[in-house]
Structure 1
């Protein structure tokens, strides 16, 4: 099984506030099965820029990024995105663009999304497998 970490999960890890459950899960699975989307990578870089003290945090971020693979946005993601976005629109569900893209990335590659964001509950109807490793 392959896992896609949502940006909030990566944030918990980088900020040192990951729960014991999250830490234990990450230690139990094969690192080759853990990924982030290019979208999450962009959000991490934005967070560094926004925080202002890039030099202080860049080494920790780079060390973390070296432990996993960053998945490219591809045709499978684009097709999943189009379908999910349209269906959610028809249902009157509003999802932030980055979350929509991350969810579509997981769906497009049949990955389990690890997130602490309940907006992804709306994605289960499209086959998304969602797990929350941060909370009990």
Structure 2
């Protein structure tokens, strides 16, 4: 199982997106999970956009994605909450500057024994989970 981070979803949403990333996604689509945390990040990003055609296109894309992957949305549950509590404490003890959303996504990966596909491997290096960079694959 592979949790796909927000930056990968953004890349494949663009017509001019990186072809290597798009190919990676097609090759691994059956393994892909859509994190409920990533969904919230993406919708927030769309909501922040100025009103206009691009915002409407991205909102339509978001809604299609949510529908198409509805059976593969990974919800944030009690196992994730427990993993996050332990991970957040490690982050605090190590003095790391890790965003809450990234730590929550990492906790989902830990709780579900999943890898994370992202361009920002450094954002997840602290968690000791498998990280895949589709730009480098």
> Normalising to structure 1: TM-score of the pair?
0.86
How far off is 1:132 after superposition? 0.7
Provide, for residues 59-106 of structure 1, a one-character-per-residue CA deviation record: whole Å limited to 9, x for no partner: 222223333222111011011101111112111112111111111111
Out of 104, 122, 131, which is 2:107 matched to?
Answer: 104
Q: Which residue of 2 aligns with 1:48?
A: 46
Q: Which residue of 2 aligns with 1:133?
A: 134
Q: Which residue of 1 aligns with 2:124?
A: 120
Structure 2, unmatched stretches of 5+, are: none
Q: Larger deviation: 114-123 or 61-70?
A: 61-70
> Normalising to structure 2: TM-score of the pair?
0.85
**Secondary structure of the corresponding residue to residue 131 of structure 2:** strand
Runs (4+) of structure 1 exceeding 6 A deviation are: none
Asked if 1 retains the 8 angstrom alpha-carbon contact of 2:43 and 2:62, the reply is no
Count of matched residue positions in the alignment of Structure 1 and Structure 2 = 131
Structure 1 pair 19–55 and aligned structure 2 pair: CA distance change class (3 A): closer
Asked if 2 retains the 8 angstrom alpha-carbon contact of 1:116 and 1:133, the reply is yes
**Secondary structure of the corresponding residue to residue 124 of structure 2:** helix
Structure 1 pair 71–87 and aligned structure 2 pair: CA distance change class (3 A): same
**Within 1, Cα distance between the matches of 2:28 and 2:50?**
34
Structure 1, unmatched stretches of 5+, are: none
Q: Which residue of 2 aligns with 1:12?
A: 11
